[in-house]
Structure 1
């Protein structure tokens, strides 16, 4: 799809080649097997948590319903890039259409933004539950947390509309080889015909703003939670509160840490190999680890899991 740009430069690229990991066919087959297993395990792990929350009445609380929605988000998130990557391992051409690349960019980063909003919402839920326990049933009603979940999804996809529109206007004249396994921001800007500083700056601003606003909100929520927990008498539920919050903070640390390295730290991920590794960590590793982190560190989830396994 030709796209006009400044200085009479016109994009004539109709498809891109995702170079992936640049290895031999034998290694690609091995990677296909490894990532297929990771993908299946991720689907099963997150799907198991969704089913447990659906079946077990004891975990029909806002915290676990949010967790189930978060697991569904993780399934969508990893499915936005891994299936295409698996196909490219077996493909000789490794091509993706221009429109398909822009769409993958938009969906992948929109789901990433949605996850940032979800992590903030889960932090807010823990803040209300621990700092305002008497008001928790009044504040976190089904209508309220249903609206908040919907706002996370809508907000994530609206936030990336401007960056996706700008990327669709970047001119790609000759090179159509993206040195990545998906259509990511840095890898696409690296093959543009001309420098696009305004697009780069705007996309960076959008990334940094949502990243640090949500991170600030999470840190503020857990600072208030920590202050409240430290004031509780021993044996009054402080250990359970710490355990529940610790699971969430581990997920936050893994996800935010890798994204900050990728999009915020200057020069930390300029090399294509580093870009692929960091992207793989926050887009593939975290959805795989999240079910393990939440289920192994949460007493109610472990009991519900045992009950479900006994019924099988």
Structure 2
């Protein structure tokens, strides 16, 4: 990613990586983003902090009136929703946005943002001066939708691409500037949210719900992932075999679907909810399933553990 920046004041960057249960697959993006920003961004230096699932931020906290913060997150972990973790994290996020520029870099494609805690609204955002804190920004939605209220603070939500980042850098570096942006608002208090927990749905209902919203590629991938142990390295290996050019967002759709739950183990360790793998396997043609199972069996000696799901083996008998 090559980023063009306008001349303007240099800043110090605080890059915050969300280490929540669905973010393991985006660690390579963190490395690429930091390299690009170190090389091309308007920054004199950068530090990396970690946002944990309990809503705390770990890492060296830098106090500098030139500090700006970028949060790399899929906005899908527990700290983004109502509850103790959410209250802790949003209090921190609000405190930053009152005094400095803050933006969220969302690795998911824009079409998926509506399923997250920060869907955002497209429009134009105006900064009264270079380096304005978020509390000083004004936002006008393209569709005229009023924003969340006088006490809410706007936060730009960016795709990790040159065009989106360059617009944000323009906002940082030039006073009186207005740029296109997608913006979410941080409320003073998190509203109570009623959702249907995946645990309350049957396996068939979970799969049907996923099929209704997923891309065809993600739904096909989910069936093949059900053939193996749903740990991130294994899922990525299956993904590479299913798609000629694997698109990370397809795997992200499966991980965020509610079909899986995080289980104890290294980051990226999941299991399918009860009965889900069996339902998904019924969507995969026998010949395709056989190829995926063969791939996993070839990988078992180097992994030194079984990688093929028992249900997949039974279906091929």
Pairwise same-fold verdict (TM > 0.5)? no
Q: TM-score, normalised to structure 1's length?
A: 0.26
**Does 1 or 2 have the higher relative contact order (CA < 8 Å, sep 6+)?**
1
Q: TM-score, normalised to structure 2's length?
A: 0.25
Instruction: Please state which structure has a larger fraction of its residues in helix.
Output: 1
Instruction: Please state which structure has a larger fraction of its residues in strand.
Output: 2
